[in-house]
A and B are shown apart, each in its own frame.
Chain A
Amino acid sequence: MKKYLLLLLSVLVLSACGKEDDKLRVGSVVSTEGQITAYIVKGMLEHYTDEEVELIKNLGSAVVLHQAMLNGDANISAVRYTGTDLTGALGQEPVSDPEQALNMVQEIFQKEYQMTFFDSYGFNNTYAFMVTKETAEKFGLTKISDLKKVAQDLQLGVDTSWMNRDGDGYKAFSEAYDFKFGRVFPMQIGLVYDAVAQNEVDVVLGYTTDGRIASYDLTVLEDDLHFFPAYDASPFANTELLEKKPEVRKALQRLVGKISTEEMQRLNFLADNNLIEPAVIAEEFLKEHDYFSGDDTP
């Protein structure tokens, strides 16, 4: 009996020292972008508050991250995307208008979960069609509509899951833009950039902040019909925590509008191509910008 008591006791003692509520715990998903923003948020919080910051990285998906927030394992999320949360955590229909999407997630999260969805960092990580520079020049491509006249001769490489998706998948896309590609190759999303750079396919559908856009010098085509839902990226935190510690809100607020899509592309590129750790990238990024000091306007 004693041994069970001992085990139980040790578990209880440990669990008691596990979750002090005042500690700042920043959750992030496993992607490179998630890790970089996690370290940026950590750096800002350490710079502007006296709190201890713990990172909970490598969470499997946005849904897991949301669950961790609900359980109190994390009280800040490094980055959340309007589109992902709208259709994932909140179970709503996808919305293409960025402003409308942001207003919706902000309102619902505040009302139903007492969580604050900040305004965007300034970058969005949505789907985008991209081609090599040569292809763009050859056919005079700048926006997706330009593809219409040449699409039937082109080969498209896309994420497997996008092919069969309802709402914003290939079927809906070809209806909205009124054209189809000659051949479509569904593949793993990580491979599309290499595929287009090596001319295996002519056009691919990738993510706008991927570092490989910069490393392969790809041209991103403008979504002129606003077909893809908005995936603007924002910091995210527990409202109660923000009310208890206003300096946390201020520190996060300073990041709003400060990281453009190009900048995020560059940072992702440093991590994925130049083998620099997200922790190192974030630290240098913050030092470069002097922790966005002197800019306190919300």
Chain B
Amino acid sequence: MTQLSVVEQFFFYMRENGSYVFSQFLAHFQLSVYGVLLASIIGIPIGIWISKFPKFSGPVITLANIIQTIPALALMAMIMLVLGLGKTTVIVTVFFYSLLPIVKNTFVGIRNIDRSLTDAGRGMGMTKVQILYMVELPLSLSVIITGIRIALVVAIGIVAIGAFIGAGGLGDIIIRGTNATSGTAIILAGALPTALMAILADVLLLWLEKRLDPTKRKKLNVAA
């Protein structure tokens, strides 16, 4: 095997272990998505809430900022003390890191809506809930998605570290590569799909973000 070049070794590895890499790819993606989804379920309402009561926005965003400054491995180690080893700890770590971009973007998205639009809604006799669902959320959705997009790309990186505490995923393959005799090809086999996943997730959500932006959608409709 040593007579092959790294690129040849890489393709050999992928041919031999393709289905294994794919299953780790899915597991990796699953962990990232769970964490981000959880953060969305909790973060978006928090973002909406602080946009309605801006005096809370300072402390909440500061708290989320502080979480963001803790190194991933350190935060994971702290959560590990409470939750133990395994997948749960990684999902919770991803959750904490996803909070900031999601909360912040929801907050900014709603705050940046032209006041005349919400005023118009109120003038038409809409209730607060109706304004939220029919005016504010649709208009800020693309900004919220941007937050989720940032969160997901960061999450994919964090899950790779999660292999150190037994969560599996593509990080597992990278770590194995660092321990094997001719490990470069194995490291690549773990790192390339991780990068690919991050790029794909980014592109996919960028597309979604554009689709959901009403101002851009209008232009599309006009063009059509």
Contacts and interface: CB of A to CB of B under 8 A. Distances in A.
Interface of A: 3, 6-7, 10-11, 14-15, 17-19, 25, 27, 30-32, 35, 54-59, 68, 71-74, 190, 211-212, 271-280
B83 A15 contact: yes
A15 B88 contact: yes
A137 B115 CA distance: 90
Contact of A18 (B60, B84, B175): B84
B179 A31 contact: yes
A72 B82 CA distance: 12
A141 to B, nearest CB: 25
B20 interface: yes
A275 B88 contact: no
B166 A58 contact: yes
A73 B85 contact: yes
22 contacts: A6-B46, A10-B95, A11-B82, A11-B83, A14-B83, A14-B88, A18-B84, A18-B86, A27-B85, A31-B179, A32-B176, A56-B165, A58-B165, A68-B85, A72-B84, A273-B181, A273-B182, A275-B13, A275-B186, A278-B176, A279-B17, A280-B17
B26 to A, nearest CB: 14
B172 interface: yes
Contacts of B147: none
Contact of B180 (A3, A17, A27, A32): A32
B99 to A, nearest CB: 9
Contacts of B182: 272-273, 275
B144 interface: no
Contacts of B21: 277
Nearest to B84: A73
Given A27-B166, A272-B181, 6 more contacts: A18-B86, A19-B84, A54-B86, A56-B165, A58-B164, A277-B21
Contact of B181 (A27, A30, A71, A211): A211
B85 A56 contact: yes
A105 B182 CA distance: 35
A19 B87 CA distance: 11
Q: Which 5 A-B pairs have the closest CB atoms?
A: A56-B166, A18-B88, A73-B85, A277-B17, A73-B84
B108 interface: no
B223 interface: no
B181 A279 contact: no
Interface string B154-192: 000000000111101000110110011110011000000
A280 B86 contact: no
A119 to B, nearest CB: 26
B9 interface: yes
A201 B175 CA distance: 29
B91 interface: yes
Contact of B172 (A6, A14, A58, A71): A58
B172 to A, nearest CB: 6
A212 B1 CA distance: 12
Contact of B38 (A10, A30, A32, A274): A10
Contact of A277 (B20, B82, B91): B20
B114 interface: no
Contacts of B181: 190, 211-212, 272-273
A35 B176 contact: yes
